[in-house]
Amino acid sequence: MALKFAVPIYVNEEVMNEVAFLPDKDGEEETTEEDLFKQPDLAEQTEKITDPFTRKLNRLQTDLKSAIDNEDYEKAASLRDEIKKLELSR
């Protein structure tokens, strides 16, 4: 809306410090939209982790992503609740 009416956009300094970034000075490296949303594969990370809590959490997150991708929202909600319980117990 601010862009449509050409008015300034004000942002809290703490928010800017947390999410802002400075582009490379070279400016040659371009990122695609796909690169911006790419996340590391949890399956690869799970092999390296020995902590049982972290392993279980990563497995649940992987299962949650899979359930969402398959549009199995009932299973996704169950996994989400289980993840929250696990995070609260720690």
Number of domains in the chain: 1
In a domain, 68, yes or no: yes
- Residues 17-32 have a mean pLDDT of 66
Name the one residue in this structure whose structure tokens are 């590391």: 40
- What is the rounded CA–CA span in Å between residue 85 and residue 62? 16
pTM above 0.75, yes or no: no
In a domain, 11, yes or no: no
Residue 43 placed within a domain: no
In degrees and rounded to multiples of 5, residue 64 shows phi and psi of -65, -45
Structural domain for 64, as ranges:
50-90
Note whether residue 66 is domain-resident: yes
Instruction: Extract the tokens encoding 87.
Output: 């995070």
Mean pLDDT of the chain: 78
Residue 71 lies inside a defined structural domain of this protein: yes
DSSP letter (8 states) at residue 71: T
